Structure 1
Amino acid sequence: MLEVLSASWVYDAVLHAQARFLPALIEQDQLTLPGEAPLIYSAETGPHASLIQATPALYRHVGDYCCLQLLAGKERYLLLFSSDAGAMDDYLIRIAQMKCSYILSSIKATLPQDRSTALSERERECLRWVSEGKTTEDIALIVSVSANTVNNYLSNAMQKLSASNRAMAIATAIRANLI
């Protein structure tokens, strides 16, 4: 189920969007991915015009709309902008998408870990060695396992920390006092 976390629309419009409009956007795969030019649709002529116009509470708040996908680690989120017709600026939409993804990643990094996602001692050890500038092969020699095993430990740690790369995993682990 989709959950709306924040909206500037009236409650009826949010309920309608949560029940029908947002799932329709996602099912039709009309989300702008990070780095892509935003797809701006009109409530009058866009692919969801009939769905928007059928609900007065929603129609009052949507002239143009743009649906963006946000990435935070392995998680995906949806950000929907709406405005008066012709008022959207694609450059500002791209900036907002980047900033929101960054904020979500930062928030996720500061949330307490539950026991199911806690790093193992070996994952912490491999992250510590990476933070010291060691290569995968160096770490494999130090901890007496294969390079593939080291990569598996690091990959698991990155996933548990919702990090998109090793540097982000190290930063997150340091902030959370895990290494």
Structure 2
Amino acid sequence: MDSRGVRAVRETLGIEDDTSSTPSSRERVVRKLSLTAGARGVPSSMHLLAEYVGASHFLLARCDLIQQQGLEYIISSDWPFDLVRRVAPEIASNYARSTELDKCLSLFAPTFSLVPDDTPVPDNISRQYCSLSLCVGRTRYMLLLLFSEGLILSQERLREVGLLAAYAVSSSDRREVRTERDFELTERELECLFWIAEGKTSDEIATILGISRNTINNYITSVMRKTGTKTRSEAIAYAVRHNLV
């Protein structure tokens, strides 16, 4: 996060720019986040924000990948793995059942759910967890937080954590695009990637683009080689994660 990003966070959270006074805890976390997000990425930023709100564990999920099989939609987490594996299908199911209006109204509004009774949680950790929805560009994320038993949560601070998490993820996304994409897809490769993401077969893409089926398959093979993916589904998931389609 650059200096403009820090100023934007400060303005959003109502932090006055008064360097002569002792920084508040909110001001200190913004300053730390500006360093953490730029140097060590999402996990360190989420650890910092979890500590700020008093949470013991965090889980960050990307909602546009949530219907895929497995746990690929989970970006970063320090929840116990058995707990993640048990709760993840319920997260996906609840998200799928919610309407678009529900999803919009839930942004930055903390909601609470219970870990299933048959699932163990760490000692002294509440079975209730908090969910925060946030947006980075057109992409929705969820931040799930576990807390110690008996902890009284601050609604204002939870909202702040949602806003700060969005800035941290945005900063990380920009850095990853610069450092990880050491390849370039051609215009034709991007076209093929777009159409397979739309569910089109090689024959259909060949008809749309006016080139042969074998040429389409060669383009798709090249896309998978460059992105390090093995199937069309993996290539689509990669494209979504990196905003290629």
TM-score (norm 2): 0.27
TM, length-normalised to structure 1: 0.37
